[in-house]
Chain A
Amino acid sequence: DGGITQSPKYLFRKEGQNVTLSCEQNLNHDAMYWYRQDPGQGLRLIYYSQIVNDFQKGDIAEGYSVSREKKESFPLTVTSAQKNPTAFYLCASSIQASYYGYTFGSGTRLTVV
Protein backbone atom coordinates (compact mmCIF):
# COMPACT_ATOMS: atom_id res chain seq x y z
CA ASP A 1 0.00 0.00 0.00
CA GLY A 2 1.18 3.52 -0.75
CA GLY A 3 1.62 5.89 2.11
CA ILE A 4 3.88 7.89 4.39
CA THR A 5 5.86 6.26 7.16
CA GLN A 6 7.15 8.26 10.10
CA SER A 7 9.52 6.82 12.65
CA PRO A 8 9.92 6.52 15.49
CA LYS A 9 6.42 6.92 16.93
CA TYR A 10 7.84 8.21 20.23
CA LEU A 11 11.22 9.89 20.74
CA PHE A 12 12.89 11.24 23.84
CA ARG A 13 15.61 13.85 23.69
CA LYS A 14 18.00 14.95 26.34
CA GLU A 15 18.92 18.60 26.77
CA GLY A 16 21.55 19.69 24.22
CA GLN A 17 21.06 16.67 21.99
CA ASN A 18 20.22 16.61 18.28
CA VAL A 19 17.64 14.09 17.13
CA THR A 20 16.42 13.11 13.67
CA LEU A 21 12.87 12.20 12.72
CA SER A 22 12.38 10.00 9.71
CA CYS A 23 9.77 10.47 6.97
CA GLU A 24 9.53 8.15 3.96
CA GLN A 25 6.86 8.07 1.24
CA ASN A 26 6.19 5.64 -1.60
CA LEU A 27 3.50 7.72 -3.27
CA ASN A 28 5.87 9.21 -5.85
CA HIS A 29 4.89 12.67 -4.58
CA ASP A 30 7.05 15.62 -5.53
CA ALA A 31 6.55 17.77 -2.46
CA MET A 32 7.08 16.97 1.20
CA TYR A 33 6.37 18.98 4.34
CA TRP A 34 7.07 19.01 8.06
CA TYR A 35 4.53 20.41 10.50
CA ARG A 36 4.66 20.88 14.24
CA GLN A 37 1.49 20.54 16.32
CA ASP A 38 1.10 21.98 19.82
CA PRO A 39 -2.07 22.01 21.93
CA GLY A 40 -4.12 25.11 21.14
CA GLN A 41 -1.73 26.23 18.37
CA GLY A 42 -2.81 24.21 15.40
CA LEU A 43 -0.34 22.94 12.82
CA ARG A 44 2.60 25.15 11.89
CA LEU A 45 4.86 24.62 8.90
CA ILE A 46 8.54 24.01 9.70
CA TYR A 47 10.12 23.21 6.32
CA TYR A 48 8.97 22.08 2.91
CA SER A 49 10.59 20.69 -0.21
CA GLN A 50 9.16 20.82 -3.71
CA ILE A 51 11.94 18.89 -5.47
CA VAL A 52 14.99 16.83 -4.59
CA ASN A 53 17.97 18.79 -3.28
CA ASP A 54 15.85 21.86 -2.63
CA PHE A 55 13.90 22.99 0.42
CA GLN A 56 12.49 26.17 1.94
CA LYS A 57 11.87 27.44 5.44
CA GLY A 58 8.34 27.52 6.70
CA ASP A 59 6.95 29.70 9.47
CA ILE A 60 8.94 28.23 12.38
CA ALA A 61 12.23 26.89 10.93
CA GLU A 62 14.58 28.13 13.68
CA GLY A 63 16.25 25.25 15.49
CA TYR A 64 15.42 22.71 12.78
CA SER A 65 17.21 21.39 9.70
CA VAL A 66 16.20 19.12 6.82
CA SER A 67 17.63 17.39 3.78
CA ARG A 68 16.06 16.07 0.59
CA GLU A 69 18.61 13.78 -1.07
CA LYS A 70 15.98 11.36 -2.38
CA LYS A 71 12.46 11.92 -3.59
CA GLU A 72 11.13 9.39 -1.09
CA SER A 73 12.80 10.76 2.03
CA PHE A 74 12.63 14.03 3.97
CA PRO A 75 14.26 13.69 7.42
CA LEU A 76 13.92 16.43 10.02
CA THR A 77 16.65 17.15 12.57
CA VAL A 78 15.68 18.90 15.77
CA THR A 79 18.83 20.63 16.94
CA SER A 80 19.90 21.76 20.39
CA ALA A 81 19.09 25.32 19.25
CA GLN A 82 15.37 24.50 19.35
CA LYS A 83 14.47 25.64 22.87
CA ASN A 84 11.04 24.07 23.13
CA PRO A 85 11.08 20.91 21.02
CA THR A 86 8.42 18.93 22.88
CA ALA A 87 5.59 18.56 20.36
CA PHE A 88 3.87 16.27 17.89
CA TYR A 89 5.59 16.29 14.48
CA LEU A 90 3.72 15.46 11.31
CA CYS A 91 5.13 14.80 7.86
CA ALA A 92 3.04 15.19 4.70
CA SER A 93 3.44 14.87 0.96
CA SER A 94 1.59 16.02 -2.13
CA ILE A 95 1.74 16.08 -5.89
CA GLN A 96 3.07 19.46 -6.91
CA ALA A 97 -0.14 20.66 -8.45
CA SER A 98 -3.19 22.41 -7.19
CA TYR A 99 -5.67 19.65 -7.93
CA TYR A 100 -4.46 17.26 -5.27
CA GLY A 101 -4.57 17.29 -1.52
CA TYR A 102 -2.03 16.30 1.09
CA THR A 103 -1.37 12.89 2.60
CA PHE A 104 -0.12 12.78 6.18
CA GLY A 105 1.94 10.32 8.16
CA SER A 106 1.00 9.05 11.62
CA GLY A 107 3.32 11.43 13.46
CA THR A 108 6.22 11.37 15.92
CA ARG A 109 5.81 12.57 19.46
CA LEU A 110 9.04 14.16 20.71
CA THR A 111 9.57 14.74 24.42
CA VAL A 112 12.51 16.44 26.12
CA VAL A 113 13.65 14.61 29.25
Chain B
Amino acid sequence: KQEVTQIPAALSVPEGENLVLNCSFTDSAIYNLQWFRQDPGKGLTSLLLIQSSQREQTSGRLNASLDKSSGRSTLYIAASQPGDSATYLCAVMGGGSNYKLTFGKGTLLTVNP
Protein backbone atom coordinates (compact mmCIF):
# COMPACT_ATOMS: atom_id res chain seq x y z
CA LYS B 1 0.00 0.00 0.00
CA GLN B 2 1.34 3.39 -0.99
CA GLU B 3 2.25 5.71 1.88
CA VAL B 4 3.20 9.37 1.52
CA THR B 5 5.08 11.31 4.17
CA GLN B 6 5.67 15.05 4.29
CA ILE B 7 8.36 16.71 6.35
CA PRO B 8 8.23 19.05 8.17
CA ALA B 9 4.64 19.09 9.42
CA ALA B 10 4.91 22.82 10.02
CA LEU B 11 7.37 25.51 9.02
CA SER B 12 7.62 29.18 9.94
CA VAL B 13 10.00 31.45 8.04
CA PRO B 14 10.61 35.19 7.63
CA GLU B 15 9.55 36.85 4.41
CA GLY B 16 12.08 36.62 1.59
CA GLU B 17 13.57 33.31 2.62
CA ASN B 18 13.97 30.42 0.17
CA LEU B 19 12.55 27.18 1.51
CA VAL B 20 12.17 23.49 0.71
CA LEU B 21 9.28 21.18 1.50
CA ASN B 22 9.87 17.44 1.38
CA CYS B 23 7.70 14.54 0.29
CA SER B 24 8.55 10.83 0.28
CA PHE B 25 6.57 7.82 -0.95
CA THR B 26 7.02 4.10 -0.42
CA ASP B 27 6.09 2.65 -3.84
CA SER B 28 8.11 4.06 -6.72
CA ALA B 29 5.73 2.66 -9.38
CA ILE B 30 3.87 5.94 -9.78
CA TYR B 31 2.37 7.68 -12.79
CA ASN B 32 2.85 11.18 -11.49
CA LEU B 33 3.18 13.38 -8.43
CA GLN B 34 1.13 16.49 -7.78
CA TRP B 35 1.73 19.36 -5.36
CA PHE B 36 -1.31 21.23 -4.07
CA ARG B 37 -1.90 24.30 -1.98
CA GLN B 38 -4.79 24.56 0.49
CA ASP B 39 -5.87 27.75 2.22
CA PRO B 40 -7.86 27.41 5.48
CA GLY B 41 -11.40 26.16 4.83
CA LYS B 42 -10.85 25.99 1.08
CA GLY B 43 -10.41 23.34 -1.57
CA LEU B 44 -7.13 22.25 -3.14
CA THR B 45 -5.37 24.26 -5.82
CA SER B 46 -2.98 22.37 -8.06
CA LEU B 47 0.49 23.94 -8.15
CA LEU B 48 2.65 21.54 -10.12
CA LEU B 49 2.24 18.13 -11.76
CA ILE B 50 5.35 16.03 -12.45
CA GLN B 51 5.10 12.97 -14.66
CA SER B 52 7.07 9.87 -13.65
CA SER B 53 9.41 10.40 -16.61
CA GLN B 54 10.21 13.98 -15.62
CA ARG B 55 12.75 15.28 -13.13
CA GLU B 56 11.28 18.68 -12.36
CA GLN B 57 8.64 21.26 -13.11
CA THR B 58 8.71 25.02 -12.59
CA SER B 59 6.02 27.65 -12.23
CA GLY B 60 7.06 31.15 -11.25
CA ARG B 61 8.80 31.01 -7.86
CA LEU B 62 7.96 27.32 -7.44
CA ASN B 63 10.11 24.42 -8.50
CA ALA B 64 9.27 20.79 -7.84
CA SER B 65 11.67 17.93 -8.35
CA LEU B 66 11.06 14.19 -8.50
CA ASP B 67 13.45 11.32 -7.85
CA LYS B 68 11.22 8.33 -8.51
CA SER B 69 13.85 5.70 -7.77
CA SER B 70 14.42 6.99 -4.26
CA GLY B 71 10.76 7.86 -3.69
CA ARG B 72 11.33 11.56 -3.04
CA SER B 73 10.08 14.92 -4.20
CA THR B 74 10.85 18.44 -3.06
CA LEU B 75 8.96 21.69 -3.51
CA TYR B 76 11.25 24.70 -3.58
CA ILE B 77 9.73 28.14 -2.95
CA ALA B 78 11.95 31.10 -3.77
CA ALA B 79 11.73 34.49 -2.09
CA SER B 80 8.78 33.53 0.10
CA GLN B 81 5.95 36.02 0.70
CA PRO B 82 3.23 36.22 3.38
CA GLY B 83 0.72 35.26 0.69
CA ASP B 84 2.47 31.89 0.40
CA SER B 85 1.19 30.97 3.86
CA ALA B 86 -0.96 27.86 3.43
CA THR B 87 -0.86 24.09 3.76
CA TYR B 88 1.06 22.34 0.99
CA LEU B 89 0.02 18.80 0.09
CA CYS B 90 1.90 16.21 -1.91
CA ALA B 91 0.01 13.42 -3.68
CA VAL B 92 1.08 10.51 -5.87
CA MET B 93 -0.92 8.64 -8.49
CA GLY B 94 -0.15 4.92 -8.26
CA GLY B 95 1.10 2.63 -11.01
CA GLY B 96 -0.66 -0.24 -12.80
CA SER B 97 -4.35 0.48 -13.35
CA ASN B 98 -4.57 2.52 -10.21
CA TYR B 99 -5.35 6.15 -10.97
CA LYS B 100 -6.14 7.03 -7.38
CA LEU B 101 -4.23 9.72 -5.52
CA THR B 102 -2.57 9.03 -2.19
CA PHE B 103 -1.92 12.12 -0.10
CA GLY B 104 0.57 13.13 2.53
CA LYS B 105 -0.70 14.97 5.60
CA GLY B 106 0.73 18.26 4.43
CA THR B 107 3.14 20.94 5.56
CA LEU B 108 1.66 24.05 7.18
CA LEU B 109 3.75 27.00 6.00
CA THR B 110 3.69 30.39 7.71
CA VAL B 111 5.64 33.25 6.15
CA ASN B 112 6.05 36.11 8.58
CA PRO B 113 6.27 39.72 7.31
Contact = CB atoms under 8 A, between A and B. Distances in A.
B100 interface: yes
Chain A interface: which size bin?
Answer: 20 to 34
Contact of A98 (B32, B45, B91, B106): B32
Interface of A is mostly: strand
Interface of B is mostly: strand
A45 B1 CA distance: 14
Interface in A85-111: 88, 90, 92, 94, 96-107, 109
A50 B97 CA distance: 11
B104 A42 contact: yes
B43 A96 contact: no
B50 to A, nearest CB: 10
Interface residues of B, number: 22
A56 B42 CA distance: 26
A98 B44 contact: no
Interface of A: 6, 31, 33, 35, 40-43, 45, 48, 50, 58, 88, 90, 92, 94, 96-107, 109
Nearest to B49: A101
A1 to B, nearest CB: 14
B40 to A, nearest CB: 10
A40 B51 CA distance: 28
A96 B31 CA distance: 12
Interface in B8-35: 31-32, 34
